[in-house]
Chains A and B, each alone.
Chain A
Amino acid sequence: MDAKSYAICFKPSSSALKRSNTTRNWYRVAKLEQLKTIGRELTKGSQGGFYQSKEFLDLVKSIGEARSKAEEDRIVLSEIETLKRRISEPDIPKRKMKEYIIRLVYVEMLGHDASFGYIHAVKMIHDDSLLVKRTGYLAVTLFLNEDHDLIILIVNTIQKDLKSDNYLVVCAALNAVCKLINEETIPAVLPQIVELLAHPKEAVRKKAIMALHRFYQKSPSSVSHLVSNFRKRLCDNDPGVMGATLCPLFDLITNDVNSYKDLVISFVSILKQVAERRLPKAYDYHQMPAPFIQIKLLKILALLGSSDKQASENMYTVVGDIFRKCDSSSNIGNAVLYECICCVSSIYPNPKLLESAADAISRFLKSDSHNLKYMGIDALGRLIKISPEIAEQHQLAVIDCLEDPDDTLKRKTFELLYKMTKSTNVEVIVDRMIDYMNSINDNHYKTEIASRCVELAEQFAPSNQWFIQTMNKVFEHAGDLVNIKVAHNLMRLIAEGFGEDDDTADSQLRSSAVESYLHILGEPKLPSVFLQVICWVLGEYGTADGKYSASYITGKLCDVAEAYSNDETVKAYAVTALMKIYAFEIAAGRKVDMLPECHSLMEEFLASHSTDLQQRAYELQAVIGLDAHAVESILPSDASCEDIEVDKALSFLNDYIQEAIEKGAQPYIPESERTGMLNISNFRNQDHHEASSHGLRFEAYELPKQTVQARIPPASLASTELVPVPEPMYPRESYQTTTVPSVSSDAASTELKLRLDGVQKRWGRQTHFPSTSTSNSTSLKTVNGITQVDGSNTANSRTRETYDSRKQVEISPEKQKLAASLFGGPSKTEKKSATGHKSSKPSSHMVKSHAPKSSMEVASEKTSVQQPPDLLDFGEPTVKSTAPSLDPFKDLEGLLEPTTQVSSAVNHSSTAAVTKSPDIMGLYTETTAGAHHKDSDILSGLSNPPMTNMVGGTTTMQVAQSSKGPNLKDSLEKDALVRQMGVTPSSQNPNLFKDILG
């Protein structure tokens, strides 16, 4: 590895003049090319332009105009029928076939099944003409997954194409390799791809690297011997190849940091050169030197410097440089800044860099852009691990984000709060989380936030009371979503207490739990998991403190069993709880009077279809018939935490066995000594591979030697080592077998866990059913949240507004309180001024948010104030003001065209006045107002210097651009073409013609 040589390679080889010349030439050629194409398309218009037939254009058009999903489906289905018929005709010309395949791709893209045509796509890649081959490769990469049966038919062609003289053929094949080659077929192409690493064309080298990267992801061992090749490619002359090499290196380093510590110096040196603009200008992006490569390098450095002081010290200078050089007004600059923060928070801490990171974070948080706030919150979460005090400066910004109407930002903030929870602020944070949890319908996130609440509550609960209440809230609102283990943990916690040897505290905990549960049972509908907890607790402790009578508790339990009569798990819990109550009564010497409803319940259960319920009912009957002494020993009170000694050897049966053997029975043969029987003990062991070898094997042949080696997935390495390389088998099989037993082992682990719970200890059978309850409980709650959200939006913005206006004078006491409780201290005055400064800016748009559609002036004011600093968004305000009201196919909203257009026109002119490109924007207005749908090329029109630079950078370039600019010819031609095809209800779908980059 010679980083210096790399530097030499990257010396700016061509002068600025030369570069601009080549750019210009290229551009002229491209433009001519385009004109040519359009010309050709125009001439073919009647038969269908864009190289496609009228039929296909009609299809696309009719789908575009379909008014409903059903109509679209009908059109696509009839297209499928047509294609099915046509494609199997004999002697189809290649060109026609190519079009059919493209049509198949279209049909698949719309979500329909085109599998009948896959084989034709596969046939196409065999074709000699690259033109046809390319279409074939495109189709197969889109149609097939790596486990498709047809792959085997493709490998041969790929092998052949990788050897082609034409580098374009090789590139097409490499694209397919990345998508389609699976673990089994890696060995078939690997040697050729390694050869291609030295191909003269950089495009080929780059794709070869990416292919090897893909192989590494699929099967790390297959390319483990190629690490030196990656290192070599890091010094490739072509920055694209070097950049691509960073992908596999990143993965390699993630898995084994220590083997690559020697590369730290090289990476640092490359990053330095990149930051010093020593890469060709073509890699500049919005005036940043090769930012994507910088980001990748920073990610790698973050890995290498993690808890390694020596390595980190090498990085400080360059990371510091990048912090300084980053243009924080562009989006890409902020992307690099964010990556710097991630890097700084991962490597060995350096005070100066931490300071820069903190500065960058505060810029993010103070920004008006939600994106930057989001990144700021995320970055804050990373940095507080190292310097927790930094959170305090930003407390008000954090609270603002927490109350923001944007869900994404809110969730990110909750994530941050989760990371900074302590015992001092746990109550506030968990309360907020629960409130938020109740307000959303997204089950996936609900589950996540519920488990976070539980975790925080378990970890930091200030009191038992609070803990029980919190858990009740979580269960009440998300009970069906939380993991069943959470419920078991709760039961265990109530049974065991908080670990202190304080019996009164424990019994207080139980009493308060019982009390709250009796109260909650009044609610109409409770989640199954929660009911299980309630039943169990009532059974164990319902009568323990003597406050409630047995008949009261049993009555409640019967109510539960009746109210949730279709939930067998709950009923089972209820019966067992009843049994316990009665047993405690009998043991205490009191007379048991079964309630009439309990009697009828038992009768029902005794005849239940569920054998589990039946058995429980019979057990209950039996227990009630026993005397106090017997019951006492079966079900001692408050003994759920006692260990049960199990005599695994079953020694108490010895006499019985002896007797049987004497009578002539066969003695027992231990499992291990039996032959021809499935080795059960192995089955439960980790080595699933062994177990699977006993199953039927459908494969005809075993794999060649190399793949056996390649097959071993990283995760199961440890377990396979124990196996003496049992049997070569296909990876797919190994995949299946590893997943299946993992489920069972998972179940086994829950069983293990369950045994810790009192219930399971005593009533072994229960261990089996709780696992089923999760499946029935994941019903989706689909509530139309639109109106709700709207309401909260306005409410929120209103509160925000009042808050903002007040904040200029003084921060609202409410917020101060919240800040104090979250961050452990009142907000200080100097912070107030900082946020006051911040609030002064958005205040004008705060007014706006009240009356979004009130008047045009306000709209223009909005855009002028909110003109984002981000140069990428320069066109956004226009897009935003027009686009929502305009509809290409006008099928969803029946908006009135004339009015919207006028309003959009006004909007444009007002925006134009504020943005610095009045002429072009004015032109744009004209075109829209006139309802002629020409392309108004905003990109070229904007006199935005960075943008121009990006495209070319010289004056001639700009001339060329402005001729491209409003480009009447271009757009007229496009328009004419489209009219010819009959796709143009032009007054209705201007958006289709709209320059999307504008």
Chain B
Amino acid sequence: MMIHFVLLISRQGKVRLTKWYSTYSKKERSKVLRELSGVILTRGPRLCNFVEWRGLKVVYKRYASLYFCMCIDPDGNELEILEIIHHYVEVLDRYFGSVCELDLIYNFHKAYYILDEILISGELQESSKRTVVRSVAAQDSLVEAAKEETGSTISNIIAHAAK
């Protein structure tokens, strides 16, 4: 298992997304969140983007006010994980169109769908951004189709106007 869990934490310590690939009980999860946000949010700039934690390593990167953290085994390649994080952020950016924290707050389920196309059971599943975005778009198109049937006419008008 390459990645044990993925966390998105805001600078205020608010949880934006959690995905657990290894098994953690509810109690352990909140403990992990508490401990790690304590460690990571207090780290100064310019230090390593890695933290050793309970014999594992947590790789984190800050994007604006949001920290993306991934926990890996001690023998993992930290730089690679940093790039996996960045890969995820780039895909998010493509999907939402200059993604901001608010996008993720209100559309966390979409952030999950995208993550599910990038990582699966803790391993990198797809490293091509285009493939990821396409497969998420394919799922969305079905959703769109379903919406379209019931959607209001005004939305169609606006959609046309936007074209």
Is A967 close to B, CB under 8 A? yes
Query: Shortest CB–CB separation between residue A354 and chain B, in angstroms?
Result: 20
**B97 A64 Cβ-Cβ under 8 A:** no
**Interface size (B, Cβ < 8 Å)?**
94
**A996 B127 Cβ-Cβ under 8 A:** no
**With contact pairs A43-B152, A168-B139, A786-B42 given, residues A408 and B133 touching in the complex (Cβ less than 8 Å):** no
**B48 A207 Cβ-Cβ under 8 A:** no
Q: Which residues of chain A come closer than 8 Å to B44, judged between CB atoms?
A: 793
Q: Which residues of chain A come closer than 8 Å to B146, judged between CB atoms?
A: 129, 131
**B116 A109 Cβ-Cβ under 8 A:** no
With beta carbons under 8 angstroms apart, the residue of B97, B100, B137, B144 that contacts A996 is: B100
**B106 A43 Cβ-Cβ under 8 A:** no
Which of A287-295, A641-649, A920-928 is near enough to bind chain B?
A287-295
**A109 B48 Cβ-Cβ under 8 A:** no
Q: Which residue of B lies closest to A50 (CB)?
A: B106
A:11-33 near B, CB below 8 Å: 23, 26, 30-33
A:106-153 near B, CB below 8 Å: 106, 109-111, 113, 129-131, 134-135, 138, 141-142, 145-147
Q: Bin chain A's interface residue count.
A: 35 or more
**A210 B83 Cβ-Cβ under 8 A:** no
Inter-chain CA distance A925–B125, complex, in Å, is: 39
- Selected A-B contacts with CB under 8 Å, 17 pairs: A26-B130, A32-B162, A105-B109, A110-B15, A135-B109, A138-B113, A210-B123, A213-B121, A244-B125, A335-B79, A370-B48, A408-B52, A889-B14, A964-B98, A992-B100, A995-B64, A995-B93
Among B96, B97, B107: residue with most chain A CB under 10 A? B97
**With contact pairs A213-B123, A786-B42, A970-B98 given, residues A883 and B78 touching in the complex (Cβ less than 8 Å):** no
**B98 A935 Cβ-Cβ under 8 A:** yes
**A408 B47 Cβ-Cβ under 8 A:** yes
Is B89 close to A, CB under 8 A? yes
**B23 A145 Cβ-Cβ under 8 A:** yes
Q: Which residue of A lies closest to B155 (CB)?
A: A40
Q: Which residues of chain A come closer than 8 Å to B1, judged between CB atoms?
A: 217
Q: Which residues of chain B come closer than 8 Å to A884, judged between CB atoms?
A: 45
**B47 A370 Cβ-Cβ under 8 A:** yes
A:39-64 near B, CB below 8 Å: 39-40, 42-44, 50, 52, 57, 60, 63-64
Q: Which residues of chain A come closer than 8 Å to B17, judged between CB atoms?
A: 109
B residues within 8 Å of A by Cβ? 1, 10-12, 14-15, 17-19, 23, 26, 29-30, 33, 42, 44-55, 62-66, 77-80, 82-84, 86-87, 89-90, 92-94, 96-102, 104-109, 112-113, 116, 120-121, 123-131, 133-135, 137-140, 142-144, 146-147, 151-152, 154-155, 158-159, 161-163
Q: Which residue of A lies closest to B16 (CB)?
A: A109
Interface SS of chain A? helix
Q: How many A-B residue pairs have CB under 8 A?
A: 281
Inter-chain CA distance A861–B148, complex, in Å, is: 54
Q: Which residues of chain B come closer than 8 Å to A950, judged between CB atoms?
A: 90
Is A993 close to B, CB under 8 A? yes
**B154 A43 Cβ-Cβ under 8 A:** yes
Q: Which residues of chain B come closer than 8 Å to A887, judged between CB atoms?
A: 11-12, 65
With beta carbons under 8 angstroms apart, the residue of A283, A295, A939, A997 that contacts B80 is: A295
Q: Which residues of chain A come closer than 8 Å to B19, judged between CB atoms?
A: 142
**B64 A998 Cβ-Cβ under 8 A:** yes
Is A102 close to B, CB under 8 A? yes
**A111 B29 Cβ-Cβ under 8 A:** yes
Query: Shortest CB–CB separation between residue B80 and chain A, in angstroms?
Result: 4
**B18 A283 Cβ-Cβ under 8 A:** no
Q: Mark A917-961, 1 if CB is under 8 A from B, else 0.
A: 000000000000000000101011000000000100000000000
Q: Which residues of chain A come closer than 8 Å to B126, judged between CB atoms?
A: 206, 240, 243-244
**With contact pairs A30-B94, A883-B64 given, residues A52 and B106 touching in the complex (Cβ less than 8 Å):** yes
**B112 A138 Cβ-Cβ under 8 A:** yes
**B121 A179 Cβ-Cβ under 8 A:** yes
**A146 B50 Cβ-Cβ under 8 A:** no
Query: Shortest CB–CB separation between residue A274 and chain B, in angstroms?
Result: 11
**With contact pairs A109-B108, A282-B128, A374-B50 given, residues A207 and B98 touching in the complex (Cβ less than 8 Å):** no
With beta carbons under 8 angstroms apart, the residue of B23, B98, B123 that contacts A939 is: B98
Q: Which residues of chain B come closer than 8 Å to A171, judged between CB atoms?
A: 135, 139
Q: Which residues of chain B come closer than 8 Å to A412, judged between CB atoms?
A: 52
Is A628 close to B, CB under 8 A? no
**B79 A940 Cβ-Cβ under 8 A:** no
Inter-chain CA distance A397–B120, complex, in Å, is: 39
**A32 B112 Cβ-Cβ under 8 A:** no
Q: Which residues of chain A come closer than 8 Å to B47, judged between CB atoms?
A: 370, 405-406, 408-409
**A370 B46 Cβ-Cβ under 8 A:** yes
Q: Which residue of B lies closest to A172 (CB)?
A: B139
Q: Which residue of B lies closest to A52 (CB)?
A: B106
